[in-house]
Amino acid sequence: MSKIKTVFQCQSCGYVSPKWLGKCPDCGAWSSFSEEKQDPRALKSSNPRGSAEAQPLSKVTGGREKRQVIGIKELDRVLGGGLVNGAITLIGGDPGIGKSTLILQALSKIAEKYGAVLYVSGEESPEQIKLRAERLSIDSDSIILLPETLVENVIAVAGNMRPSALVIDSIQTVFTEDLTSAPGSVGQIRESAAKLMIFAKKSQVPVFLIGHVTKEGAIAGPRVLEHIVDTVLYFEGDRGHSYRILRTVKNRFGSTNEIGIFEMRDNGLTEIDNPSELFLSERPVDASGSAVIVSMEGTRPLLVEVQALVSPTTFGMPRRTSIGVDFNRVNLLIAVLEKKAGMHLGGMDVFTNIVGGLKIIEPASDLGIIAAISSSFRESPVNSKTCLFGEVGLSGEIRAVARSETRLKEAAKIGFKNAIIPKSNAERLKTDFGLNITGVKDVEEAIEHIRI
Ligand code: TYD
Ligand code: MG
């Protein structure tokens, strides 16, 4: 009898090895290998639409995807303007952040507009889902619950029913009978997702996969899934805040880095239409160490407060902590302030924070971080009607950023009076949006203007 061929696969990144290893050479995880059956079918054609045919690009018809507008604006935005038929979307996030809540709210809208939907739950019983639905005031004959974990059965039911959307909550609980490994292992997640993808592409039913995030911050069985699916959305936000941010990490049907902002209330997730006003609502007036930056999140401008606290170090090594902004970036800016603006931060602890639990990755926030740190260092507040944006270079120069007009327009709308922006941006402006705009060319000049 021929032996079944098995391989060892890293459960955290999917790396495959012919023999067991203690440490994964790819992601560095320890004791992460488990034995999986090697699936010979994996080598066959993987075209989800059946037979492949070579054809010239000009002969390909269609090309414009059909979209269902869900009716939750913030969700439609991150999806790129609605749900694409046959698209497979992964929603990842920490346990308890609100994935099931969001999906139930979305399903209720989809069912109302486009007909019955199928909600497959391997995690919660129909009774538990009912309790949540009551809390959200959702009741519908068109939301069909299926407590099933075998992916072949799910596809059979969905194939007969042809729902207007299919949800798998969560992908870690489903498994395929083709593999012997436990649900939640990389092999199972990948195979199940692949089967669901084939179903989605053939039937044109949009599919949502819900995925948990591991302690390290990646969706379990992560890299394998991100390649398969069309869209990846991450749910961010911390327990201490009621804001929840849904961020597009990958989208074959729209732009990435779009964000949708929600607030978790007693009766579910509520959309936030005017996030800038919300994030600035508790801003202390004329306190030092606070500055407002205009950041672009995808296509949307967002005004947020960055705070800094600079205080003398009590133990030898100065402490540097940053929340919501890149730690290395802040260290770099501190070095620029020391060298180019003569601020002696070497003996100071520096803490920086973005208010509201947001994460800002854009370099355009540099100027705001500099303003907050120097304001705290000098104990002199930044004018509360002033906002800033600009990238800071290593020689202290302030570099132009993209979309300066969109940013200024939003700042004016919120009620700001002054803006400190890169000189080269200021020179190219066609209108000032009623703002008093100061173009600055280096850090020193910027700090001069912040002081007023
Ligand atoms: P849930 O959607 O179950 O999270 P996930 O599926 O991501 O694990 O959300 C659970 C949390 O949300 C829980 O702590 C309770 C809270 N919640 C509200 O605050 N208001 C609500 O209306 C609902 C349904 C949940
Ligand atoms: Mg859940």
Per-residue pLDDT of 216-263, as tens digits, reads 555 555 556 888 899 999 888 777 778 888 989 899 988 887 889 999
- Whether 93 lines ligand 1, by a CB cut-off of 6 Å, is yes
Which residue's CA is the closest to the ligand 1 atom numbered 9?
Answer: 98
Mean pLDDT of 405-418: 93
Q: Read off the pLDDT band of 78 (50, 70, 90).
A: very high
Mean pLDDT of 318-338: 94
Domains in the chain: boundaries? 5-42, 67-273, 277-450
Of 354, 385, 393, 357, which Cα lies nearest the Cα of 452? 385
Q: Kindly give the interhelix angle for 99-114 and 126-135, rounded to the nearest 10 degrees.
A: 80
The yes/no answer on whether domain 67-273 falls in CATH 3.40.366.30 is: no
CA triplet 146, 131, 96: central angle to 5 degrees? 85
b (16+ CB within 10 A) / e for 293-328? bbbbbbebbbbbbbbbbbeeeeeeebebebebbeee
Mean pLDDT of 269-288: 86
Q: Read off the pLDDT band of 26 (50, 70, 90).
A: confident
Please give the Cα distance from 21 to 34 (Å, whole number). Answer: 9
Whole-number pLDDT of residue 306 = 95
Tokens of 254: 């729209």
Lowest mean pLDDT among 17-31, 41-55, 228-242, 435-449: 41-55
The number of the ligand 1 atom at minimal distance from the alpha carbon of 235 is 7
Beta strand pairing call for 166-169 and 117-121? parallel
How far away, in angstroms, is 197 Cα from ligand 2 center? 21
Q: Kindly give the interhelix angle for 366-378 and 327-341, rounded to the nearest 10 degrees.
A: 60
Mean pLDDT of 123-138: 94
Quick check: 108 pLDDT over 80? yes
Q: Which residue has the higher pLDDT, 2 or 426?
A: 426
Whole-number pLDDT of residue 254 = 85
Q: What is the DSSP letter of 22?
A: S
How far away, in angstroms, is 95 Cα from ligand 2 center? 7
How far away, in angstroms, is 243 Cα from ligand 1 center? 12
CB 306 within 8 A of CB 365: yes
Average pLDDT, the chain: 88
Which residue's CA is the closest to the ligand 1 atom numbered 8?
Answer: 96
Q: Read off the pLDDT band of 452 (50, 70, 90).
A: low
User: What are the DSSP calls for 319-371, one per residue?
Assistant: PEEEESS-HHHHHHHHHHHHHHH----TTEEEEEEETTS-----GGGHHHHHH
Compute the half-sphere exposure of residue 364: CA atoms within 13 Å on the CB side of its CA: 24
How far away, in angstroms, is 224 Cα from ligand 1 center? 27
Which ligand is nearest to the Cα of residue 94, counting in written order? Answer: 1
Mean pLDDT of 3-19: 81
Whole-number pLDDT of residue 221 = 55
Residue type, 314: T
Quote the pTM value.
0.80
CB 406 within 8 A of CB 297: no
Reported in sequence order, the residue ranges of 207-319 that DSSP labels E, i.e. its strands, are 207-212, 231-236, 243-251, 259-265, 268-271, 290-297, 300-312
Q: Could you read off the pLDDT of 149-202 as tens digits, one per residue?
A: 999 999 999 999 999 999 999 898 999 988 877 888 888 888 899 999 999 999
- Whether 105 lines ligand 1, by a CB cut-off of 6 Å, is no
Whole-number pLDDT of residue 271 = 92
Long-range contacts of 129-132 (CB under 8 A, 24+ apart): 129/100, 129/104, 132/100, 132/101, 132/104
How far away, in angstroms, is 260 Cα from ligand 2 center? 19
Strand partners, 307: 290, 353
Determine phi and psi for 322, rounding to 5 degrees.
-140, 135
Q: Which residue has the higher pLDDT, 312 or 452?
A: 312
- Chain centroid to CA 76: 14
Lowest mean pLDDT among 113-117, 273-277, 362-366, 378-382: 273-277
Of 251, 236, 99, which Cα lies nearest the Cα of 170? 99
User: What are the DSSP calls for 226-240, one per residue?
Assistant: HHH-SEEEEEE--TT
Strand partners, 421: 439
CB 435 within 8 A of CB 405: no
Mean pLDDT of 340-352: 93
Mean pLDDT of 433-447: 94
DSSP, collapsed to helix, strand or coil, labels residue 101 as helix
Work out the percent of the chain whose per-residue pLDDT is above 70: 93
How far away, in angstroms, is 220 Cα from ligand 2 center? 15
**How would you write 363-393 as a 3-class SS string?**
HHHHHHHHHHHHHHHHCCCCCCCEEECCEEC
Whole-number pLDDT of residue 102 = 95
Please give the Cα distance from 95 to 246 (Å, whole number). Answer: 14
Of 261, 215, 258, which Cα lies nearest the Cα of 242? 261
Q: Which residue has the higher pLDDT, 303 or 10?
A: 303
The number of the ligand 1 atom at minimal distance from the alpha carbon of 94 is 7
CB 322 within 8 A of CB 351: yes
The yes/no answer on whether domain 277-450 falls in CATH 1.10.3210.10 is: no
Which ligand is nearest to the Cα of residue 270, counting in written order? Answer: 1
Q: Could you read off the pLDDT of 265-274 as tens digits, one per residue?
A: 999 999 988 8
Radius of gyration of the chain (CA): 25
- Whether 268 lines ligand 1, by a CB cut-off of 6 Å, is yes
Q: Which residue has the higher pLDDT, 104 or 450?
A: 104
Quick check: 206 pLDDT over 90? yes
Whole-number pLDDT of residue 95 = 86
- Whether 96 lines ligand 1, by a CB cut-off of 6 Å, is yes
Please give the Cα distance from 390 to 383 (Å, whole number). Answer: 17
Quick check: 69 pLDDT over 60? yes
Whole-number pLDDT of residue 216 = 59
Q: Which residues contact 265 (CB under 8 A, 6 or more apart)?
A: 242
The number of the ligand 1 atom at minimal distance from the alpha carbon of 267 is 22
Mean pLDDT of 289-294: 95
DSSP, collapsed to helix, strand or coil, labels residue 275 as helix
